[in-house]
Amino acid sequence: MARKGGKKKRGQIRSRKKNGYHVMNQLNFSSRAQEKVYDKLAIEYVEQHLPKVMNIVPKEVREKRGDAPFNRPGKLYKENLDTVSTKDKYVTMAKTFIKWNVIHKGISSLGEINEKNTEEFFDTIAENTGGEGKDRYSKKTYDGYVDSVYKYFAAVSKNPEDALVPIEGREFGKAIKSSKKLYNQEFRDKMRGKIGDFSQDEVKRGTGYTDRQAKIILRQALKNDKYSTQEKLAVACLVYGTFRNSELLNSSADCFDSEAKTIRMTKYGMTKQDRPRIVLDVDKKVFDLLDQYQKETGIPPSEELFNNFSQDKVRALVKECCRDGKVKYSGVHDCRKAYVERTENALFKRALKGDLTKEEMVEKILQQVGVDPSLNPEKSPKDYAWKTLKDGTKKRYRTNHGKEAAPKEPKFTKEKLLEYPIENLIDLYVAEQLGHAKTSTNQEYRIKEQKEKRRAYIKELKAQRKGDPK
């Protein structure tokens, strides 16, 4: 971190985090030499290790191969190779982890970060987690640090040849062997356990809306004349369109296709981490309101529909609808939780009745991942096997490592997807609707009752298959 008022040199990382009340905001370098060590290690991490596990390509490489100026991926690299955005949670918190080790442990290389240091780092945060006061961390923030440090160990322990985004002529940092033993689920759970057991409500942003509550929120907007057509459209998009707050503000009429009942979020910078997606089977109410709004205003198709809105205004709008409908406000983002409940229940019920086939789900998924090449990349298949270690734990390893790569093939094909159980296809479909790269992220969007319903649906589906002679 550059000193206040000092001139920023090329390649130097300056933290944009403002001084705050929390313990990790009070980290101060004791000397300029210590500050230089941090700059060196932070840059080493984000340039040589982080791209091995995150989809990052430097601007200079994109230009050389003729990509568009803002082509995905590469969002973390802005003006040049050395300028790193600190907005991403994983980058910010991992840099804080490195900074703490430089200041308190005097490390001069990433390889010096060990288990003892890591435990002490989390002990420091755990002591300042929970309770009231501006200087206390929330359990959600603590959980974020655990995940970020886990991502750090994943990056530094990965071999360069296994990088997520291999770049010709560019070498990544060698795997740090001493960090490999810290990249495991057991150690992560141990760090997470330092603050004891905690409920999902203590970690996540809100309790979430049920499908019924989300519909009540929309009903208040539709029936009350105090809301404009534009405001009614905004609420409908949140309830039925899977929009995040920022995505809503970036949307325009040409994203909506009433005939196909879809919303395309493929414009650069529109979605989180710029991951494109298409939302299928959108409710007719959204398109009716959009048509009404266009007739009232004559807004051009390419112009942002909510250019006079801010994220705070969207929050205030949803809060007002909650107040009118006597629904507890749980944020804007939690409308997506209601969408998960509504969509999963409808699909599982159809599957149990036999009205939903694998072929139908596969067709939908291929339409989703076909909207952009980055969603269905071609990769060489990797063969894996399991081996039992001396302590009895099992570890997965590659059996074709070092051998000639097999021909590349799309990640998703009709043949591969048809091998999935239908409940897995439903998971994948919902993940793509929400813009998630992993189906496991869906779990965070299920309220407690929905988790129980889903388990019951899957149990019933498995029982049906077991009794089916086919």
Output the pLDDT for position 1: 38
Q: 424 lies in which domain range?
A: 338-467
pLDDT score at 119: 94
Torsion angle defined by CA atoms of residues 351, 214, 443 and 357, in that order, rounded to the nearest 10 degrees: 20
Cβ neighbours of residue 141 under 8 Å, at least 6 residues apart?
A: 129
- Contact yes or no for 355/370 (Cβ under 8 A): no
* Pair 42, 96 in one domain: yes
Q: Are 329 and 342 found together in one domain?
A: no
Cα angle 168, 174, 176; round to 5: 155
Residues 311 and 351 both lie in one domain: no
In a domain, residue 9? The reply is no
Which of 143, 171, 203 terminates a domain? The answer is 203
Question: For residue 120, what pLDDT band results from cuts at 50, 70 and 90?
Answer: very high
Give the separation between CA 172 and CA 48, rounded to whole angstroms: 5
Q: Are residues 364 and 455 both part of a single domain?
A: yes
Q: Is the pTM of this model over 0.75?
A: no
Q: What is the mean pLDDT of residues 227-256?
A: 96
* Per-residue pLDDT, 12: 40
Cβ partners under 8 Å of residue 103, min gap 6? 27, 28, 29, 30, 34, 38
Tokens at residue 266, please?
A: 């493929």
CATH value at residue 319: 1.10.443.10
- Find out whether 334 and 208 touch, Cβ atoms under 8 Å: yes
Shared-domain flag, residues 47 and 154: yes
Instruction: Please check whether residue 3 lies inside any domain of the structure.
Output: no
**Angle CA 75–141–186, to nearest 5:** 95
Percentage of residues in the chain having pLDDT higher than 90: 54
Residue with the bigger pLDDT between 34 and 170: it is: 34
- Residue 71: the pLDDT is 40
Is residue 14 in some structural domain?
A: no
Q: How confident is the model at residue 133, as a pLDDT?
A: 63
In a domain, 15, yes or no: no
The values of phi and psi at residue 398, to 5°, are -85, 135
Chain segment 98-114, per-residue pLDDT in tens:
999 999 999 999 999 99
310, 334, 358 - which closes a domain: 334
Specify whether 181 is located in the same domain as 34.
Answer: yes
Residues 272-300 have pLDDT tens digits of: 878 899 999 999 999 999 999 999 999 99
Residue 290 inside a domain? The answer is yes
Q: Which of 175, 203, 231 is the last residue of a domain?
A: 203
69 shares its domain with 197: yes
Write down the pLDDT at residue 168.
64
Q: Is residue 253 part of a domain?
A: yes
Let me know whether 60 and 116 are in one domain: yes
Residue 458 placed within a domain? yes
Are 179 and 320 in the same domain?
A: no
Burial of 289 (0-12, 13-18, 19+ CB in 10 A): buried
pLDDT band at 386 (very low <50, low <70, confident <90, very high): confident
How many structural domains compose the chain?
3
> Could you tell me if residue 2 is inside a domain?
no
Q: Which candidate, 205, 151, 159, 179, places its Cα nearest to that of 48?
A: 159
pLDDT band of residue 249 (cuts 50, 70, 90) is: very high
Domain check: are 329 and 353 in the same one?
no
| Claim to verify: residue 350 and residue 423 sit in the same structural domain | yes
pLDDT value of position 405: 66
C-alpha span between 203 and 221 (Å, rounded): 30
In angstroms, rounded to a whole number, what is the distance separating the alpha carbons of residues 463 and 467? 6
Residues 43 and 190 both lie in one domain: yes
Distance separating alpha carbons of residues 470 and 465, to the nearest angstrom? 8
Weakest-pLDDT range from 58-62, 191-195, 233-237, 271-275: 58-62
